[in-house]
Amino acid sequence: MTARLGAHLRENGMLMALVAIVLFFTVVVQLTLGVDFLSAQNITNLFLQNSYVIIMALGMLLVIVAGHIDLSIGSVVGFTGAVAAVLTVNMGLPVYVVIPAVLFVGMLIGAAQGYWIAYWRIPSFIVTLAGMLVFRGLTLWLLNGQNIGPFPKSFQSLSTGFIPDVFGVDKPNMTALAIVVLAALVIIFISWRARKSDVTFGIAPEPMIMFAIRNLIVAAALIFVGYKLATFRGLPNVVIVLSILTIVYAFFTENTVMGRRIYALGGNEKAAKLSGIKTDRLVFLTFVNMGVLAALAGMIVAARLNSATPKAGGGFELDVIAAVFIGGASMSGGVGKIIGVVVGALIMGVMNNGMSILGIGIDYQQVIKGLVLLAAVIFDVYNKNK
């Protein structure tokens, strides 16, 4: 029993940590300021403010699982946001043209960096560090050192729009409630199917008590958040985008041949290559994917700010990388789950939000986040040594 609990500690530890951090800030904020940390408005802000971290963390997980790193994503966010501003504001192109065009620019950026890393064997740290400098400079050049905005409402809705209530009810938003309840049921069903699959293939399943508690916490949290959002303005568009991306990437990493090959590549590249896996192509594609997600995040950030700014994206790569490692990814590659990364990103977001509400200075915030990241890496090393 103890061995099985230990095997699932990594998977469930971050979820328990997220619940504990939320409860901590809920109590402390209420006692010190008399403010409801779990108010509908604050939960909405939490998603809107941290959507870019979750989006890029999905791509960063694949990069890190493959045994690499991408330090350029913050600069790519700023550059693609600037491209979107030039196309939308200066050139007057419609949103349905701008979005695919900017995603294509992100794909080209990822392909350019991935080419040198995958086929020329230049360390990803060096290539993406160069990319960080190059695209930060290109952002300043493209914007001429000035902000460009505002964006039309159709573009702003990427970040600040909300799903309308098809049932016509004002409050609560019944569409939001229905979507969230359905999502909770689907998550429980998928977890139950995965547990049965483990039993079928002779894999020791997660203890039933842990399985039940974890799914109860996840379902209850989803329904609670959904109800809060439904009493405010409903589900933000960006939450729907995040949900779809999370489902797609979770399915890709756990149920497709290419997804499993990326894990094999990160676990042992030589063995993967000898088994016939085209490791160079996989590395290349992980960076292409990262470029596309960074471009999507760039547009969402620009839409939220309602302008493209030369300083947009500064330091984003640090939050994204921290979220991936806090979510359970291994420094040496080959280990990590999409759900863990989402939880890690939410931990970062809750900490940022809670410390800002409490008025904790940015200096102390950086210290605390650094210590949390260090603790996550130490936990990873400790588990590997055991």
Look at residue 219 and tell me if it is in a domain: no
Residue 1 confidence (pLDDT): 44
Residue 261 confidence (pLDDT): 94
Residue 8 confidence (pLDDT): 56
Share of the chain above pLDDT 90, in %: 43
Closest by CA to 295, choosing from 19, 99, 155, is 99
Print burial letters for 32-42: b (CB count within 10 Å at least 16), e (below 16).
eeeeebbebeb
Look at residue 212 and tell me if it is in a domain: no
Alpha-carbon torsion (18, 24, 27, 30), positive or negative = negative
Q: Is 101 exposed, middle or buried (0-12, 13-18, 19+ CB in 10 A)?
A: middle
DSSP-derived 3-state class of residue 236: strand
Look at residue 372 and tell me if it is in a domain: yes
Look at residue 69 and tell me if it is in a domain: yes
- Residue 4, pLDDT above cutoff 70: no
Look at residue 198 and tell me if it is in a domain: no
* 328-337 tens-digit pLDDT: 888 788 888 8
Look at residue 210 and tell me if it is in a domain: no
Q: Is 29 exposed, middle or buried (0-12, 13-18, 19+ CB in 10 A)?
A: buried
How far is it, in rounded angstroms, from Cα 287 to Cα 259? 14
275, two tokens? 């088994």
How far is it, in rounded angstroms, from Cα 360 to Cα 122? 41
Q: Are 82 and 148 in contact (CB under 8 A)?
A: yes
- Residue 3, pLDDT above cutoff 60: no
Of the two residues 47 and 281, the one the predictor is more confident about is: 281
Give me the number of domains the chain comprises. Answer: 1
Of the two residues 115 and 322, the one the predictor is more confident about is: 115
Mean pLDDT of 286-300: 97
Q: Are 282 and 258 in contact (CB under 8 A)?
A: yes
Mean pLDDT of 367-386: 77
Mean pLDDT of 135-156: 92
Mean pLDDT of 203-219: 81
Residue 135 confidence (pLDDT): 96
Give strand pairing partners of 236. Answer: 162
Residue 2 confidence (pLDDT): 47
> Mean pLDDT for the chain?
88
Read off the pLDDT band of 62 (50, 70, 90): very high
Q: What is the CATH number of the domain that holds 6?
A: 1.10.3470
- Long-range Cβ contact pairs of 94-100 (< 8 A, separation 24 or more): 94/154, 95/152, 95/154, 95/155, 98/155, 99/158, 99/299
Residue 279 confidence (pLDDT): 94
Closest by CA to 302, choosing from 82, 20, 134, 114, is 82
Look at residue 205 and tell me if it is in a domain: no
Residue 10 confidence (pLDDT): 60
* 18-30 tens-digit pLDDT: 888 999 999 999 9
How far is it, in rounded angstroms, from Cα 332 to Cα 23? 33
Residue 263: domain span: 2-161+236-385
Residue 170 confidence (pLDDT): 64
Q: Is the pTM of this model over 0.85?
A: yes
Closest by CA to 109, choosing from 84, 131, 87, is 131
- Range in 58-67, 85-94, 369-378 with the lowest mean pLDDT: 369-378
Computed over its alpha carbons, how large is the radius of gyration of the chain?
Answer: 21
Residue 11 confidence (pLDDT): 61
Look at residue 245 and tell me if it is in a domain: yes
